Amino acid sequence: MKLGCIGDDFTGSSDLASMLAKNGMRVIQFSGVPEGNAPADVDAGVVALKTRTMPVEDAVRRSLEALDWLIAQDCTQFFFKYCSTFDSTPQGNIGPVIEALMERLGTETAIVCPAFPATGRTVYQGHLFVQDKLLSESGMEHHPLTPMTDPDIRRWLARQSERGVGHVAAGTVAEGPDAILAAVRAETEAGRPLVVIDAINDADLRAIGAAADGVPLITGGSGVAMGLPVNLLGADALYSVEGDWRGEAGPAALIAGSASTMTRAQIARWRERHPALEITADEVMEGRVTPDEAVGAALESDSPLLLYSSADPATVKAAQEKYGREIVAGRLEAFFAETARLLVANGVRRLVTAGGETSGAVVEGLGLTALRIGPEITPGVPAVAAEGRPLVLALKSGNFGDVDFFETALAMLEARP
């Protein structure tokens, strides 16, 4: 294995795995730290954790456990993947994890680049934009777990970190890899080793990737990983994932737990033409609906049923105030994890999930330890196949995809000759 990756949630890990596969690597995504060694044919391993919103100390400990396993697989470069909207709080967990990884690796610098222009996330003058809006005006300021109220990634990261935060501006990035690397080294020597790098298009990301050749630790969204496969494998050894994908025949279902703006739009579009069943927080907390009942509805449906708990920010906030933020989130995740387990036990072979926490809970509930990465459904979201089981999935971060994502994903997961 050449590249060892650590993701702070499941869908973000899928996002990174998809980027690496699309650009020529054989990739497996692991659910948590594996017990044995990686398969011999794997170029990149992505260890998917669920550390984004857990206590800082736990996030650091689990990330280091993943790093130690990846080191044991003889990886030569390491990548810490977090969301392209930099989902975190003033306490962490991005900064503390980066610093812990730096310490364990003995490296003096870390590249910080959340940009993913294909999904509208760009960094300019150290500020993160979502499409044409600053991060703090994009809807992410209302995120129930990690409200992003400051678009200046330098300032936000500095609040989480003991080390200084540096910056490489867009003008330098445009000069190419040599200029980028020189600027990163200069910032590190000036006492600012956590180096935020601007990126407004894919050419910027590829230049940053080229500059990162030989840099031990890269952190960011999946976009900046697009240039890494050619560094590690060489242009003549790149692999095409499209030819190996087969999908699965059989029943399908969808589960959405994200409260993001895009997921709610996707739900609204799906409901225009397809069946859906809302699962409210009150119903789950008060025991008025069970996973068995939700699964029964899905199995009785003539076409794939969408089960969703996604709600507008005001409704989410009201539920959090009534029951407690972590309590209601945990109960909903447990509900959908058991629902997914029962769906698959009853013959579902294609499963689409929306929301990082929801998708992570579903993967855990299904006991999936390794996912083989297939073709890209939409930027940041691959089709994946469970190793050794007749099950294919699409695990989507909340804000990814267009309004027709659910239909597109189901079509991609269908069996092919």
- The SS3 assignment for 213 reads coil
Query: What percent of the chain clears pLDDT 70, i.e. is strictly above it?
Result: 100
The residue written with tokens 């058991």 in the block is 338
- Beta strands at 370-378 and 381-386: parallel, antiparallel or unpaired: antiparallel
The pairing of beta strand 350-354 with beta strand 306-308: unpaired
Distance CA 375, CA 340 (A): 23
Tell me the C-alpha distance between 328 and 367, whole Å. 23
Read off the tokens for 128.
């993160």
- pLDDT digits 0-9 by tens, 245-281: 889 999 999 999 999 999 999 999 999 999 999 999 9
pLDDT of 122 above 70: yes
E strands, 41-105, are 44-48, 77-81
CA 386 to chain CA mean position, Å: 17
* CATH class, 243-413 region: alpha beta
pLDDT score at 360: 86
Residue 387: pLDDT band (50, 70, 90) is confident
Do the domains spanning 3-239 and 243-413 agree at the CATH topology level? no
Percentage of residues of the chain with pLDDT beyond 90: 88
H helix runs in 88-227, sequence order? 94-105, 153-160, 170-174, 177-189, 202-211
Q: How confident is the model at residue 240 (pLDDT cuts 50, 70, 90)?
A: confident
Predicted pLDDT of residue 133: 98
pLDDT at position 243: 67
Q: Sheet holding 127-130: strands in order across? A: 121-124, 127-130, 133-134
Q: What pTM, to 2 d.p., does this model score?
A: 0.81
Interval 83-108 mean pLDDT:
98
Predicted confidence (pLDDT) at residue 390 exceeds the cutoff of 80: yes
Distance CA 169, CA 174 (A): 9
Superfamily name with CATH number, domain 3-239: Putative sugar-binding, N-terminal domain (3.40.50.10840)
- DSSP assignment of 334-383, as one string? HHHHHHHHHHHHTT--EEEEESHHHHHHHHHHHT--EEEEEEEEETTEEE
Domain boundaries, the chain: 3-239, 243-413
Q: What is the mean pLDDT of residues 394-405?
A: 93
Q: What is the pLDDT of residue 245?
A: 86
At residue 15, does pLDDT exceed 90? no
Task: Tell me the residue type at 202.
Answer: D
The lowest-confidence range among 103-107, 361-365, 390-394 is 361-365
Lowest pLDDT segment from 121-125, 378-382, 402-406: 378-382
Q: Is the pLDDT of residue 14 over 90?
A: no
- At residue 226, does pLDDT exceed 90? yes
Instruction: Give pLDDT, residue 79.
Output: 99
Does the pLDDT of residue 223 top 80, yes or no?
yes
Element at 282 (helix H, strand E) = helix 281-285
pLDDT in tens, 335-363: 999 999 999 999 999 999 999 889 989 99
- pLDDT value at residue 144: 87
Grouping H, G, I as helix, E, B as strand and the rest as coil, residue 197 is: strand
Strand (E) or helix (H) holding 62:
helix 56-72
For residues 147 and 87, give the distance between their C-alpha atoms in angstroms, rounded to a whole number.
8
Higher pLDDT, 18 or 208: 208
